[in-house]
Structure 1
């Protein structure tokens, strides 16, 4: 009799450990494909012009062509798009942990705000001399960050008990 109760006790402990492990994980479901497409769109946006002749990766690496004015916010957004949009999102899809999902949501929120401000900054200038407006790459990158923000926030808010 005591052998059976020890086996049941061990089985109960194992089931509890599996339950605790499952509670820490998230399943993005079909939303994982949308996240992957948005990350791909961010990578493509890095190849497109963001301001004048300056492409996203030029701005990211600080290799802005002569004569093109790019403010600090587009530079910060280029960094945020790669770190939060690409790297954190890839990590979130790989690890599927609630903590990482929350970091993705917060990073994409900050990146989206910076991205919208970047578009605004490229449209306005501090002098009367017109500067290059936002290019298609910057707009695509901001839209992709907004899609990532919505998906990660939905996943983060879907945790049971919230």
Structure 2
């Protein structure tokens, strides 16, 4: 073997390692991007007592019954928006797995947020419901993508 063969083999191995770290999203990227957009719309619509999801996130809507919706707003922004944006731009498997696990947590938290609003006898705003549906869609897409790694 010559020096150039060793260099070529090393270059090929480096390309293989780089490809193994990245994920090919295909059509799922569009579905995730649209779901993130819907989630952002849900965050600006009313969640409870006329307060938007962003108001709930920053704490302008206070009270006992607003803690679970506030946690959902935080996890939806963290895992639904930020992690999805990182996964879509970097195409790293790590962010795909974080999106899947965090999306599951945020989805369950969203169900609890809706339930806590209903059980306290207060209104559930349309934004909260839209945000939950979008978060479930995001979580499903990240789970399907993470599960496709062989």
TM-score band, normalised by the shorter chain?
A: over 0.9
> Rg: which structure is higher?
1
1:97 aligns with 2:97: no
Aligned equivalent of 2:28, options 28, 31, 51: 31
Number of corresponding residues: 150
8 Å CA contact 1:51, 1:70 repeated in 2: no
Deviation at 1:71, TM superposition (A): 2.5
Q: TM-score, normalised by structure 2?
A: 0.95
1:145 aligns with 2:135: yes
| Deviation string, structure 1 residues 29-50 (Cα, Å, up to 9, x no partner) | 0110110111111111111111
RMSD of aligned alpha carbons: 1.5
Query: What SS does the corresponding residue of 1:50 show, helix, strand or coil?
Result: strand
Residue in 2 that maps onto 1:154? 144
8 Å CA contact 2:56, 2:66 repeated in 1: no
Residue in 2 that maps onto 1:115? 110
Residue in 2 that maps onto 1:16? 13
**Residue ranges of structure 2 left out of the alignment (5+ in a row):** none
In terms of fraction of residues, the more helix-rich structure is 2
Query: What SS does the corresponding residue of 2:79 show, helix, strand or coil?
Result: helix
**Residue ranges of structure 1 left out of the alignment (5+ in a row):** none
